[in-house]
Structure formats: C-alpha cells, structure tokens
C-alpha cells in the first residue's frame, strides 16, 4: 500500500477502485455500530446521507457490503473484508494529514451534493484524473433538502431531482428517469414486465421522505411505492421487485448551482458531466493550454469560511468479490 502526495492510497494487486477516505470512515462507523441510525448520530449526519454514501460505495465496489434486509444490520463477507482493509487505510491517512504543514491543510475543493439514485462514480473518476489538486467532496442529500443545501451553500453544486425553484440558480437538465413500482416478490405485479397506474388503482400508495423507510414499509406489507428506477436499484433487496409503470410521469435529474458561485471549477465540472474532453474549447482549461487543467483551481472563489482542518483524500482499493449493489421520488399521496 502506497500513499502519494495527493492522499491517494494504492493497493496494487489488481482491480483497483478509487474511493473517498471519508466514505470509508462512514462505512466503518456503520460496521462498528451495525445500526445505520446510531452510526448516523455518531457521525452527525442524516441517516439518508449515510445510507446513500454506503450505497454509492457498494456501487463503486460492485458488491453488497451489508446483508439486504438483515435485522439487525449484518456485514457480508465482502463487507468484513473491506472493514479489515479500511482500518489501516484510515489510520495511515490520519497520520499523513497530521504531518502536513498548516498552509497545506486547506486544499481547494469542490463540494457537490447528490440526491438518492444519482450515481456519481464515473464523473468523480474523470474529475480525479483531470484535476488532481482539486478534491471533489461528494455529499449525499435528501431530495427535499437539495435546494436548501444549495441556497445555504452547504454544497456548491448539486444533482437535484426536478422541479426546483430556479431563482438565483443555474439549472442544467441532464436525463430523465423511468418510474417503477416497488412491490413484494409475491405481489401480482411481479408477474408482468410492466404495469399501468390502472393496474395499481386498488393499492395503497405510500407517501414518504426517506426512501429507505419506504422500502422497509413495502417489505412489511404496508403498501407500494413508485420511485425512479435508479432509486429502486439503489435500495434493492431480495424480498422485493420493481416493475416499470408505463403511464406514470417520469422524473428528471439536473445539475444546479447558485449563480453567485459560478467559477472556472463549476464550469469544469459541468464539462465533465456533459462528457466534454479535457481539451474542449468550452472548458476553461481547454481555452488556455498553458494553464493546464489544474489552473481552474486558481480562479475558484467561494464565500469566506472559517479555516477547516485537512480532509481525507481518496484511496484506490481492490474490488471485493463481485455481487449485487444496493436511491427516490415522492409520489403523490393516496387515501389510505
């Protein structure tokens, strides 16, 4: 295992994956507590943000780290293997941060939020390749908290689920999502490739804020829930299935950020998300070949904040044995 100057940890025995150390810390907290609620309280984060972080980690590694639906929470074999690897990685990173001189403890960062169901792994990898001196901090946010997080500037940019109030925000629509219904595996809807709203007319359609809670309610037989397909994939479990709802309204994911926070870095991130090349003339770094990609960090301006301690970098770890990975839209409430 080797740590470079940028805080990346490389485990060089094949199949490497670039992982945020902070995400590893959150995983370890859940693994120690074996309870998402207690771990979220200990970390001072929302349960949804913690669940989204673990989901993203499972997606990056291509395997489940916790047994789906297990009560109490239980690690899989892959989860136990990652836990064994994570502890020394975190300890090494903490020692590295402790050796940094004061002037290097506040590196330039771009903080990007994302709602459940959005997979940011591909964009994060491209960013890490092009802008090694600019850390990308990824923060899971609840769907209803996405716009407030932007306006309070807890995040600089955010993948949101439309609609949002666009006053004072730049909003770029990205892609549409297929609506699906989540039901028990023995539900009649599970027999069809897709269903219609009329097929579900007599069902109890659940209203919810936390998709994890909604999925638990469906598993308990309390009703059904309609969510974007990406969310259903993120919260998949063996006792539930999901089917497309052909005539339900779809949803749309967009990238949003406050107009006042527009900078070369935000423009660069837009370019990464839209698939522009590193030398694109539409990207700030592409218009000045002399500056190079990292030049964007020099013109990145943010409102003044109190000095923060150094944050963890990213690590590259091997994928555990490949398995299935385990994000949500609020449907309209129906009468119970």
pLDDT band at residue 295 under the 50/70/90 scheme = low
The span from the CA of 229 to the CA of 241, in Å, is 11
Residue 141 pLDDT > 70, yes or no?
Answer: yes
Q: Transcribe 126-141 into DSSP letters.
A: HHHHH-TTSEEEEEE-
- Token readout for 175 is 């892609």
Q: Are 75 and 31 in contact (CB under 8 A)?
A: yes
pLDDT band at residue 71 under the 50/70/90 scheme = confident
Q: What is the DSSP letter of 318?
A: E
* pLDDT at site 271: 94
Residue 227 pLDDT > 90, yes or no?
Answer: yes
pLDDT band at residue 268 under the 50/70/90 scheme = very high
The span from the CA of 336 to the CA of 334, in Å, is 6
- pLDDT top residue among 104 and 108: 108
* Rg (alpha carbons) of the chain, rounded to whole number: 21
List Cα–Cα distances, 18 to 49, 60, 220, in angstroms: 20, 8, 37
- How long, in residues, is the chain? 336
The span from the CA of 278 to the CA of 130, in Å, is 7
Q: Are 156 and 111 in contact (CB under 8 A)?
A: yes
User: Ranked by mean pLDDT, which of 55-59, 188-192, 313-317, 330-334 comes out on top?
Assistant: 188-192
List Cα–Cα distances, 323 to 82, 209, 271, in angstroms: 14, 28, 32
Instruction: State the burial class of residue 190 (Cβ atoms within 10 Å of its Cβ: 0-12, 13-18, 19+).
Output: middle
Residue 22 pLDDT > 60, yes or no?
Answer: yes
- pLDDT top residue among 60 and 316: 60
Residue 250 pLDDT > 90, yes or no?
Answer: yes
pLDDT band at residue 11 under the 50/70/90 scheme = very low
Helices (H), 34-165: 36-43, 47-61, 77-98, 121-130, 146-151
- pLDDT top residue among 313 and 48: 48
Q: What is the chain's mean pLDDT, rounded?
A: 79
The span from the CA of 65 to the CA of 78, in Å, is 6
pLDDT band at residue 65 under the 50/70/90 scheme = very high
* pLDDT at site 312: 47
- pLDDT top residue among 15 and 177: 177
The percentage of the chain sitting over the pLDDT mark of 90, rounded to a whole number, equals 42
- Is the bond preceding 72 in cis, omega lying within 30 degrees of 0? yes
Instruction: Give the CA count within 13 Å in the CB-facing half-sphere of 133.
Output: 10
Query: What would the pLDDT profile of 107-129 be if each residue is shown by its tens digit?
Result: 478 999 999 999 888 888 888 88
* pLDDT at site 18: 62
pTM of the predicted model over 0.75: no
- Token readout for 207 is 């209203």
Q: What is the DSSP letter of 206?
A: P
Structural domains for the chain: 1-99 (1.10.10.10), 107-176+259-288 (3.40.190.10), 179-249 (3.40.190.10)
The span from the CA of 48 to the CA of 144, in Å, is 11
* pLDDT at site 239: 92
Region 230-256: mean pLDDT is 93
- Token readout for 136 is 């990308």
Comparing 9-18, 49-58, 269-278, the range with the smallest average pLDDT is: 9-18
Q: What is the DSSP letter of 171?
A: E
């Amino acid at each position: 295992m080797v740590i470079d100057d940028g805080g990346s940890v490389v485990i060089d025995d094949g199949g490497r994956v670039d992982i945020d150390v902070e995400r590893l810390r959150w995983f370890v907290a859940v693994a120690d507590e074996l309870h998402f609620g207690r771990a979220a309280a200990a970390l001072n984060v929302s349960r949804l943000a913690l669940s989204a972080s673990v989901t993203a980690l499972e997606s990056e590694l291509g395997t489940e780290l916790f047994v789906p639906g297990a009560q109490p929470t239980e690690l899989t074999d892959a989860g136990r293997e990652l836990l064994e690897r994570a502890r020394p990685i975190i300890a090494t990173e903490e020692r590295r941060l402790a050796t940094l001189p004061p002037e290097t403890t506040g590196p330039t960062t771009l903080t990007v939020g994302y709602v459940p169901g959005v997979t940011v792994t591909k964009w994060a990898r491209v960013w890490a390749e092009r802008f090694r001196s600019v850390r990308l901090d990824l923060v899971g946010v609840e769907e209803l908290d996405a716009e407030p997080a932007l306006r309070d500037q807890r995040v600089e940019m955010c993948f949101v689920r439309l609609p949002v109030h666009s006053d004072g925000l730049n909003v770029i629509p990205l892609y549409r999502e297929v609506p699906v219904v989540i039901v028990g595996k023995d539900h009649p809807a599970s027999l069809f490739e897709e269903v219609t709203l009329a097929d579900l007319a007599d069902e109890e359609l659940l209203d919810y804020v936390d998709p994890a809670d909604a999925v638990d309610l469906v598993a308990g037989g309390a009703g059904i829930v309609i969510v974007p397909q990406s969310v259903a994939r993120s919260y998949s479990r063996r006792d539930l299935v999901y089917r497309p709802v052909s005539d339900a309204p779809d949803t749309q994911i967009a990238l949003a950020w406050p107009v006042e926070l527009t900078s070369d870095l935000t423009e660069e991130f837009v370019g990464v998300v839209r698939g522009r090349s590193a030398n694109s003339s539409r990207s700030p770094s592409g218009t000045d070949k002399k500056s190079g990609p990292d030049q964007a960090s020099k013109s990145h301006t943010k409102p003044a904040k109190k000095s923060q301690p150094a944050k963890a970098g990213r690590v590259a770890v091997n994928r555990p044995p490949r398995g299935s990975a385990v994000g949500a839209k609020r449907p309209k409430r129906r009468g119970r």
